[in-house]
Amino acid sequence: MKPIYLDAADLRILSALQDYGQLSKSKLAEVVGLSATPCWARVTRLKKAGLILGFHADIALTRIVDLSKVVVTVSLKSHRKADFERFEAHVQATPEVTDCISTGGGMDYVMTVVTTSLPAFQTLMEVMLDAELGIDRYMTYIVTRQIKSARPDLARLVAAKAPKPVPGTKD
């Protein structure tokens, strides 16, 4: 299939969805400056191309429940593919791990863990260690307050570099 090139309207749609989440057809069309039907057709095409992964709401969790947020860096003992797969499968099945990235350099992974308390966090880490995931060492950083949490500015990124074609979709 021929790759898709994102035009200015596509980028406005993606930016609006990123900034405001799921909007009604008419509100999205108004925000991006298109009529509703062509705007929604573009959204459908962008979803099919795999550019829109989902929608969510940012919830003020600390206003609902007390929680502990911990950033954890993890280094594995061995760096075979099976070791990475075993660790990553465990992380995928652990709801308290809200983010996990694989990194190059000194540590293999950086995770964000959200639990109801620090003892609950410690129990979670003990379970991970007991699961024989090949963890060599881990370092914890207790989050004391959130300074910034944002999504990347799509318009700014695109302005810096031309968008790449999305394989598997047609114009």
**Mean pLDDT confidence for 96-122:** 96
The answer to whether residue 93 sits within a structural domain is yes
Mean pLDDT of the chain: 89
Residues 160 and 31: their CA atoms lie apart, in Å, by 23
The answer to whether residue 125 sits within a structural domain is yes
**Mean pLDDT confidence for 78-88:** 95
Phi, psi of 110 (to 5 degrees): -125, 120
53 with 74, same domain: the answer is no
38 with 97, same domain: the answer is no
79 with 33, same domain: the answer is no
| Residue 21 in tokens | 């989440």
CA distance to 32, 65, 103, per residue, from 114 (Å): 36, 11, 20
67 with 138, same domain: the answer is yes
CA distance to 18, 22, 30, 61, 144, per residue, from 39 (Å): 15, 13, 9, 33, 42
The answer to whether residue 103 sits within a structural domain is yes
20 with 51, same domain: the answer is yes
**Mean pLDDT confidence for 121-142:** 96
50 with 69, same domain: the answer is no
Q: Please report which confidence band the pLDDT of residue 171 belongs to, taking 50, 70 and 90 as the band edges.
A: very low
Is the CB of residue 113 less than 8 Å from the CB of residue 98? Answer: yes
- With a cut of 50, say whether residue 19 has pLDDT above it: yes
Residues 91 and 73: their CA atoms lie apart, in Å, by 13
100 with 121, same domain: the answer is yes
Count the domains in the chain. 2
Over residues 32-58, the pLDDT tens digits come to 999 999 999 999 999 999 899 888 888
- With a cut of 80, say whether residue 61 has pLDDT above it: yes
The answer to whether residue 89 sits within a structural domain is yes
Residues 59 and 78: their CA atoms lie apart, in Å, by 38
65 with 47, same domain: the answer is no
18 with 76, same domain: the answer is no
User: In b/e form, how buried is each residue of 86-113, taking b as 16+ CB within 10 angstroms?
Assistant: bbeebbeebebbeebeeeeeebbbbbbb
The answer to whether residue 166 sits within a structural domain is no
Domain that holds residue 89: 61-142
72 with 108, same domain: the answer is yes
Of 143 and 164, the structure prediction assigns the larger pLDDT to: 143
